[in-house]
Structure 1
Amino acid sequence: MSEFARPSALAPFRIRNYRFQWPADLLTSWAFEMETLILGWYVLVETGSVLLLTLFASLNFIGTLIAPMFGVVGDRIGHRDLLALMRATYAVLATTLMTLAFTGTLKPGYVFIIVALMGLVRPSDLGVRGALVATIMPHDQLIGAISISRTTMDTARIAGALSGAGLFAALGMGPAYVAIVSLYVVSTLLTLCVIAPSKPHPVDEVASQAIRRSPMRDLKEGIAYVWTTPRMRAAIWIAFLANLTAYPLSNGLLPYIARDIYGTNQTGLGYLSASFAVGSLAGSIALSVVGGVRVARLMIGATALWYALLLVFAQLQSMPAAMACLMVVGFAQSLAMISIAVILMRTASAHFRGRVMGVRMLAIYSLPIGLLAAGSLISEIGFVATASLYAATGLLLMLFITLHWRADLWHIHAPANAR
């Protein structure tokens, strides 16, 4: 067989642990998407304010500031146990919202409080699940495993968005939240079925002393580890930039775009969100079956295409055209984000993976900043000008990052481009 023969897209499922983690991640992602769509529409309708909508979306990511500490905890107690605890927390908070909805006491203020609490934990979910995948999968199957793992978020934006919008429109918030709570509970149970070391086992006195060290020292070492590795630092900067200038346009602002730009309802919002996800799913599947990819070059090309397509999206006034454009946008962002994850996980030592992914999640903190700034700018200069400014700025800064680290990202023999 050729060295670069195409791997099987289903190869990761030969690993028992992956057969439990993948559906657990899938159900969690579905619940995330349903909640985001339902609560975003609720806040927009109840308050009528795009600024409060961006505040709501920003609260989902306030935990990015403490995401590196989740990485430290995961490296200490085990990523499986931490992930299960996080998902049990989602279930408890969703149950609270469900109860308020059924009793008729739900108000926007309560939504903001509960979303803020969930936002402390939720941003770290992607990083912890990525570290767990890297722990349970053989090195030669890592690209395929991460790509297939990414499909959990992609399918969630399709099924979760459409089912969430449908349930909310047909039955109301209470019944929709029954489904969300059920998804969180089942995902917690499936996560507990993963058999992985609950915590690192010291193999010598040095490792034993490391476990007893201060968590803050571990955190500083993790940040220093990323900062002193050029390809990892470049990947983190691109992730930071994408969250600041790209994701606000295809994520948190979608309820506003659906209602105020295209004049549609929550079902139309579901279609827009699902269109992005269809493209993202296609990108994840494509990368899972293609071998011999120069990952860093793929990251650069996909990110540039992502921004170019957002410039086009900003000008569109037709709902069908916007849906078609969002599909291609989703495809490009999927390739870019998977490439970043692969670069980080391939580079990180096993005992640093949690902290590396924690630093990666810290980059998401730029998303609430970008959302809040976009909310203010839209009120002043309008959506088209704001979206165009974001996409053009992102593209220019991404090209600057590429030029600055071209030896580590573009050179064909650079470690980040190893096949």
Structure 2
Amino acid sequence: MTVFARVPALAPFQIRSFRFQWPADLLASWAFEMEGVILGWFVLVSTGSVTALAVFGSLQFLGTLVSPFFGMAGDRIGNRNVLCMMRITYVCVALCLMLLFMTGLATAVSVFALAAIMGLVRPSDITLRNLLVGETMTAGLLMRAMSVSRMTADSARVVGALSGAALMAALGSGVAYIVICGVYLVSFVLSLNVGLRRVRMVGETAVPLSPIRALREGFAYVWSTPDVRAATLLAFLMNFAAYPLVSALLAHVAKDIYGLDQTGLGWLIASFATGALLGSIVLSMHGARIRAARAMIAGALIWFTLNLVFSWIETPRWGEALLIVIGVAQSFCMVPMAVILLRTADPAFRGRVMGVRMLAVYGLPLGLLLSGPSIEHVGFAVTGSLFSLIGITFTLLIASHWRAHLWHPQAAANRH
């Protein structure tokens, strides 16, 4: 325990729950990324359509429409219980995909159907992770804990992407899915030891609210709280205009622009994730001195600018190098954003606020559905430039409109 106390990045591991949550989240994220590479490549090869790839990517975020209800369920029955139910679902869906690939019965239609089921549940995984961190961490450890927690997804994009591509190339999709099932199962077992026993928050009503009324109150709270509202709107913008270029559409960049195979795709994904991991490490060590709202705005502007440059690169090595820098900017935008929401939201509304924030992820499938056809008509470079310019414009509008809440050093969102 003295080592945890002396090393800033390890300080969150003083909390018993976090010592179980971090590896559980890490394994789940590894499996997510392995699945993403395997299924994304399968859809692109079997259909030969960028639009189909974009639709597949959007299906993985179908559950953003119901994510507020996962946050409310966490408030009502406990965040750990909801997270465990979600992760046993991952095991069941992965088993179905394993059987399809092992028997040679996998088709684009069956993959789309199972991806839709997974997409109803998986988008809320990050919500429950963040809620459990906010539930178990002290205010002084929150930025470090969120940064270390973010490392699970960032490192997973390196390890999961490369291992998923390597397993698929060497052993086939069926054997790769045996590994994925095992990883999901271990994640579920570890998740059983995460979190606190359900306690009633101050200000919480004794009689449970109906889901619709609770959702309405959650939206009202977000809309009436300036810093929370600004962060939620920016989250939607980042998912709509920034993430599509560095997520599902990387398969198109790898295959049709760089002329790479699935291993090359894995390297592109890993490059972005390596940068994100580096950013998270920096934040875990020095995040306590960073003003969250200022870092969020600056990170967003830098990210969009780098995306604009990336849109015109046609050389794999330069693309990989730039993706590393984009990953760093992503961490400096998204980690402070999560800290703002957890730190400034009333604990009685925290689950609902994070659930409403997850609706912002719906910007990603929307961006994918618009960018896919656009790429087929005007190309990746023009589409990427358009999305990046939209992002820069609206980021500046958000920063200007809520300047007192996002840029003033004494604003609640900027306090250490």
In the superposition, the TM-score normalised over structure 1's length comes to 0.96
Q: Which residue of 1 aligns with 2:302?
A: 305
SS at 1:105 equivalent: coil
Deviation digits for residues 224-270 of structure 1 (CA, Å, limit 9, x no counterpart) = 11110000000011110000000000001011110001000000000
CA contact (8 A) 2:54 2:248 kept: yes
The one of 393, 396, 399 aligned to 1:399: 396
Q: Which residue of 1 aligns with 2:266?
A: 270
State how 1:6-405 maps to structure 2 within 5 Å.
Answer: 8-197=8-197, 199-201=198-200, 207=204, 209-210=206-207, 212-290=208-286, 291-405=288-402
Q: Which residue of 2 aligns with 1:3?
A: none
Query: Shift in Å at residue 349 of structure 1?
Result: 1.9
SS at 2:409 equivalent: coil
Distance 1:311 1:207 in 2: 46
Distance 1:7 1:409, change over 3 A: farther
Query: Shift in Å at residue 202 of structure 1?
Result: 7.2
CA RMSD of aligned residues (A): 1.4
- The one-letter amino acid of 2:239's match is N
CA contact (8 A) 2:296 2:332 kept: yes
CA contact (8 A) 2:242 2:388 kept: yes
Distance 1:332 1:195, change over 3 A: closer
CA contact (8 A) 1:77 1:200 kept: no
Deviation digits for residues 143-174 of structure 1 (CA, Å, limit 9, x no counterpart) = 00000000000000000000000000111000
Distance 2:405 2:372 in 1: 36
Distance 1:189 1:350 in 2: 28
Where structure 1 has 5 or more consecutive residues not aligned to the other structure, the ranges are 1-5
Distance 1:7 1:228 in 2: 39
- The one-letter amino acid of 2:199's match is P
SS at 1:94 equivalent: helix
- The one-letter amino acid of 1:156's match is A
Distance 1:207 1:404, change over 3 A: closer
Query: Shift in Å at residue 200 of structure 1?
Result: 3.1
Query: Shift in Å at residue 207 of structure 1?
Result: 4.3
The alignment of Structure 1 onto Structure 2 pairs a total of residues equal to 411
Distance 2:216 2:390 in 1: 31
Give percent identity, aligned residues only.
53
- The one-letter amino acid of 1:354's match is G
Distance 1:415 1:100, change over 3 A: same
Distance 1:229 1:313 in 2: 35
Distance 2:47 2:317 in 1: 28
Moved more, 164-173 or 131-140: 131-140
Distance 1:54 1:406 in 2: 35
In the superposition, the TM-score normalised over structure 2's length comes to 0.97
Deviation digits for residues 316-336 of structure 1 (CA, Å, limit 9, x no counterpart) = 111000000000000001110
Q: Which residue of 1 aligns with 2:3?
A: none
Distance 1:280 1:202, change over 3 A: closer
